[in-house]
Every structure is written in C-alpha cells, then in structure tokens.
Structure 1
Amino acid sequence: MNTESPLSLRRRALWPLLSTLGALTALAPLAQAEGYPDKPVTLVVGYPAGGSTDLMARTIGPELSRRLGTPVVIENLGGAGGAIGAQKVASAAADGYTLLVGANNEIAIKRLVAPASVKYELRDFTPLGLIASQPMVLVASPRTGVKTVADFMKQVKANPGKFTYGSSGVGTALHLAGEMIKDQGGLFMTHIPYRGVAPLTTDLLGSNVDYGVFVLSSGLPLIKSGKLLALGTTERKRSQATPDVPAVAETPALKNIDISSWFALLGPARLPEPVAARLKKALAETLQAPEVRKKLEETGSTVANPQLDLARFMAEESAKYKRIVEFARIEE
C-alpha cells in the first residue's frame, strides 16, 4: 500500500522536470558561447581619446576585429582615473561583448588609494591577457640644469623640500614611480598632481615645476625635440625606443627601481570558458601580427608574452603598489 502523501507524490513527479531545467540552465552559457561572437564587441577605455590606454585599444582593435570576425568598437568612458570604465565592465553581462582595455592605474592601483569609492576588486574581472608594458621616464625642466640621475639626486639631497616633481594625478602609476624613487633614494621633494599630461607639460616647459614623470610614449616627443631632458626610464632595463636614455636602476642607489605602466584586456568575472578561450586566442594572435607589434614598439612599449599568467602578474603588481602606497601614505 502506498502511504506517500499527495504533496510527496507531486514533488516526485516534478523532480525530473526540475532536473531537466537545471541542466538546461547550466548549458545555456555554453550554447551562447558556441555562436560567439555574433554581434560587435565593445572595448571600454576609462579615459578620453588620445591617451596611452586609448592608443593601446585603437592599436589592437582592427586586428582583434579581424581575428574575431566581428566589429570591435572603442568606447571612451573617462572619469575617476579610469575607474568608471572599469566599473562598467565589472558590472557588465558575462557574455564577452563588453571588455576593458585597462591600465594598472584603474585595475590595480585605484582601489588601494581610494577604497571607499572603488567598488570592484581583481576578482571581479576575467583576465584575458596582458597587451604591453611601457616604462615611465623621469624628466627635468630646463631650469634645474641637471643632466643625469646622479645630478638629480645630488641636487635634491642638498636641498631637501625645495624641489618639486609632477605627475598626471594622485595615485597614478606615474605618482607611484616618483614615490618609489624618493623612497629608495632617501629624497625629500614635493609631489604636484596635475589633471593629465597637458598641464604638467606646460608647467615643466615654463619651469613652474622642476621634475616630472611621464609614460614614455607621452614624453617621447618632448624628449626628441630637446624641450625636456630625459634622466632615466623606470624599468630595470633600457627601453629599445630610447637606447641612449639610461634606466634609473643603473644608478647604484636606485638599483631596485623597476616599475612600468601596463595595459591588459579583461572581461567581467565568470565569462564562459569557451568565450574566454576564444578571446585569449584572438588577443595572442593580434599581438603577433607584425603591423601591431611595430606600432606598439614605436611607442616604447614591450609587447607582452602570450604565455604570461595575467592573474598572477596582477596580484604581484598589486602587492608592489601596496608597499609604495603605504610608504607614501597616498590616498584620495
């Protein structure tokens, strides 16, 4: 005799249907991935057009479009030091159609200096690949009269607190590079934050600020024209774009200086693995295209190794930045 209640019988009858629905739900992302991409892909850049991050996106965009077989659209969404664009991608649907071409500023540094206003973490993104890295460059205004990093250190040490250096804003990679030089060199100088490269350039040329830190691609025209003197680049080795400019680390007191601006392609967290794999493959092929490599290298960039573990790289870089932020007590 069956003693099951009517409710239990209904539950048993519904179980196969619920199991089928669960399986279909689990398979839905895979089904979507099989046809990916079937519409344009948007590359979000958290800065106005014309900057170094925008340049990266526009350099890889056409070839990435060819590799994916769909249009790739650049969306410039400036504000909050790149954080608005990064937040949009972190909150986007995990379908592979909204991606971030981001720099270390908004990916790894911003949340360290403005934890109250930045609502995303590294775990809120799917790492798809490093695009390139680029050194920064320490430059001197004409009024300083210095020619080398050694001259710079001697001048600043002899006059603690007298000299200034500028960057494109508080908590940027440029600011952190300047603070790393101060820390390791035992220097006391004042940081002047600017709202971008243009006003910093104006004040350097007008000798209203003594030193500056630029991303190499932004500083190259000024260096080549002789308007500003390049003292040293911030990666451990000299840049191929400026072989006559020493690395800051060649000065013994600053031998541990090794910091760069880097640019990566990221998607929202939980991208379906087939979509992520397709994007990783397309990016790796894009970076091997001769025309793309040529354009990137002309800006002073080093094209990334496609085998690099981006998640691990970002975690290691974040730990480095955390030490600098804590030393300099940087906050927004």
Structure 2
Amino acid sequence: MTSSCLLRRTLAALAVTASFCAVSTSAAQSYPERPITVVVGYPAGGSVDLTARLLSEELATQLGQSIVVENAGGAGGTIGAQRVARANPDGYTLLVGSTNEMVIAGMINSAVRYDSAKDFTPIGMIASQPMLLAASKTSGVTSAQEYLDKLKSGEPGQYNFGSSGIGTTLHLAGEMINESTGTKAEHVPYRGVAPLVTDLISGQLNYGVLVLSSGLPQVKGDKIVALGVTEKKRSAVAPDIPSLSETPGFEQVDINVWFGLYGPAKLPEPVVTRLNEALTAVLKSDAFRTKMSESGATLYEPGIDGARFLASETEKYGRLVKLANIEPN
C-alpha cells in the first residue's frame, strides 16, 4: 500500500470517528429525548421501590420526560443491578441502588458478575434510613441499657437477634452492635422482614433488627418495643426513639440503609451533568423532602462524591462481613 493510500484511509477513519463523536455529543446535549427506565432490583412495595417511585415522579418533572419504574427483583437486588451494568450507556436505563446490591452482594455472592466501582456511573446519593433494634413485648426489655445488661449477664449464645437474611444490612448492623457492646447475640436469619416481625410480635423472637419504616408501625401499635435507631442522630420521623449511640457501650454504632442513583459505566458527561442537576433540584424540593421524611428517610445533601462514598462503604462493610465470618457462596 502506498503512503498516499494509507494517508487517505487514515483521514477517512478520522472523519468517521469525528462524525460519530459529534452525533454522540449532540445526542447527549439534547438528552432526554424519550422515556427513561429506572430499574429497581426488588419487588414493588419495599423501601428501595418506594424511593425510586417518589424520585422518578419528581425527576420526570425536572427532566421534562416520562420515567418508567421497572422492578427486576431477585438475588438480593443483583439481577436489576446487573441489567443496568450491561445496559447501553446513553442515560435511558438507570438504577436506584441500595447498600446490599452496590456494596455487600459482591463480597458474599460469587455469582455476582459486576464490579460496583467499575461498572456504574454514580449520579448522586438520594437518601438514607436508619435501622431499628427492637424487642418483643415478652422480653421484658424496654431500653438499650436493659438489653445490654441482659446480654452481659447471660451465658454465651443464650440470646439472639433476627434479621432479614445472612449478609443483609440488617444482619451486619446486628454484628456492629455486637462489636460495639462487646456482646455476642447469635444471628437468626429470616426469609425477609415480614416473618421476623411476626415472630417478634408473638414473642418467638426476643430481639430483631429491621429498617425503621418496617418497624415503626408495629412500635406505634404497641406490638414491639423500640430500643434505638442505628444512626448517630435520632430520626426526624421518630424523634422519641433514641439513637443507640446515646447509650454507653453503643457509641460505635452508626449504620444505615442508603439509596443512590446510578447509570452504566461510561455515561457521557453531558448526560451525567443533566441528571445530576435534575437530582439536585429534586433533593431541594420541599414536596420530595416531605414525602421521603414520611417514609422514614433522610435526604442527602447534593454534591456528595459518589465514588468516594462507595469506597468508604465498601471498606466499612468489608470489615463487618469478616467480623460475621461470612464466606462467599
């Protein structure tokens, strides 16, 4: 091949590349031009689903485009997350992800085929919700101090706590409580929160860890006893329930369930900017703030570095997974 032919081919290739980039940039700048799908890795009705639906309603207004929420439940949220990780990075398939599928799942499930730090573009953090350490009415325990006194005076393995399953945020919150207090309540895994609450109400289970929004109706109905929330600050939606960290021995307990908005890796920068601006406006909306507060959640301030946040959470939960002696399955 002559040098002139090679030059012509090189110039032609560069022209095609430039044309493609121009089209891609133009498409990104006019985003969104069609409906957006927000994937939730859980069935309808849970805290992640509720967050996604409330967010999508407000986000659609900000973007001037309709948003469809699709539930792709299964495998602890990882099926939905994997779908978004493999989606075309054009901004039309997004994920409302939570602690479990974005941090914990990859540590305990060898079947997970995505890397949260590499396969997603963090758009912004949405909200967090504390968990609740609760006791049955039959336990005779009415405060975090009484809980601690009973565990310290009991035999090893005498007391236990229930969660929604091995390796869930609820399980690891219980392990953080064990670590902070120097006690060892044995973990009892349930297939979800509903049977856990049923056993707490009946007295079959003395103690349990559950998301605040799941336990608050039972507390208000005087069916279970709230011992404390797992965040450092009291929840605005339940200010009468103390933070566990207010009780000596629980000072190191600070853990929650969080929700963030993600897209596939390599989202065009103009799309990320547009979505981030829309999310920021939603987070500042009084209407959205009120709705999320009613669900037991606290909104994050705009501007959190999503990648740095994810790295910090990965470090924290990695330690807790080791503490719980959970081996990848």
Instruction: Give TM-score scaled by structure 2 length.
Output: 0.96
Query: Is 1:304 aligned to 2:297, yes or no?
Result: no
Query: Is 1:17 aligned to 2:1, yes or no?
Result: no
Give the letter for the 1:234 counterpart: T
Per-residue deviation, 1:313: 1.1
* Equivalent position SS for 2:4: helix
Listed as ranges, the matches of 1:6-45 within 5 Å are 6-45=1-40
Aligned to 1:141: 136
Aligned to 2:244: 248
Q: How far apart, in 2, do the equivalents of 1:140 and 1:286 lie? A: 36
Aligned to 1:284: 280
Q: How far apart, in 2, do the equivalents of 1:278 and 1:321 lie? A: 31
Per-residue deviation, 1:212: 0.8
Q: Which of residues 267, 270, 275 in structure 1 aligns to 2:266?
A: 270
Deviations 1:174-194 (A, max 9, x none): 111000001121112221111
Aligned to 2:111: 117
Deviations 1:85-127 (A, max 9, x none): 111111111000100011111111111122x111111221100
Aligned to 2:160: 164
* Equivalent position SS for 1:78: coil
Aligned to 2:201: 205
Listed as ranges, the matches of 1:307-318 within 5 Å are 307-318=303-314
Q: How far apart, in 1, do the equivalents of 2:303 and 2:189 lie? A: 36
Q: How far apart, in 2, do the equivalents of 1:82 and 1:276 lie? A: 23
Structure 1 residue runs without a partner (length 5+): 1-5
Give the letter for the 2:228 counterpart: G
Deviations 1:206-257 (A, max 9, x none): 2121111111111111111111100000001111111111111111211011
Q: How far apart, in 2, do the equivalents of 1:330 and 1:23 lie? A: 50
Query: Is 1:224 aligned to 2:220, yes or no?
Result: yes
Deviations 1:60-107 (A, max 9, x none): 111111111111111011101101111111111100010001111111
Aligned to 1:193: 189
Per-residue deviation, 1:35: 2.3
RMSD of aligned alpha carbons: 1.2
Structure 2 residue runs without a partner (length 5+): none
Give the letter for the 1:13 counterpart: R
Q: How far apart, in 1, do the equivalents of 2:24 and 2:160 lie? A: 54
Query: Is 1:258 aligned to 2:259, yes or no?
Result: no
Give the letter for the 2:114 counterpart: Y
Aligned to 2:75: 80
Deviations 1:110-167 (A, max 9, x none): 11122x1111112211001111011111000122110111111111222221122111
Per-residue deviation, 1:325: 0.7
* Equivalent position SS for 2:234: coil
Query: Is 1:65 aligned to 2:64, yes or no?
Result: no
* Equivalent position SS for 1:85: helix
Per-residue deviation, 1:259: 0.4
Q: How far apart, in 2, do the equivalents of 1:29 and 1:178 lie? A: 48
Deviations 1:33-54 (A, max 9, x none): 1221111111100100000000
Would you say how many aligned residue pairs link Structure 1 and Structure 2? 326
Aligned to 1:95: 90
Q: After TM superposition, which residue ranges in structure 1, 4 or more long, deviate above 4 angstroms?
A: none
Q: How far apart, in 2, do the equivalents of 1:107 and 1:28 lie? A: 32
Q: How far apart, in 1, do the equivalents of 2:38 and 2:192 lie? A: 22
Q: How far apart, in 2, do the equivalents of 1:15 and 1:319 lie? A: 47
Instruction: Give TM-score scaled by structure 1 length.
Output: 0.95
Aligned to 1:131: 126
Q: How far apart, in 1, do the equivalents of 2:225 and 2:301 lie? A: 31
Q: How far apart, in 1, do the equivalents of 2:4 and 2:69 lie? A: 56
Deviations 1:258-297 (A, max 9, x none): 1011000000000000001111111111122211110111
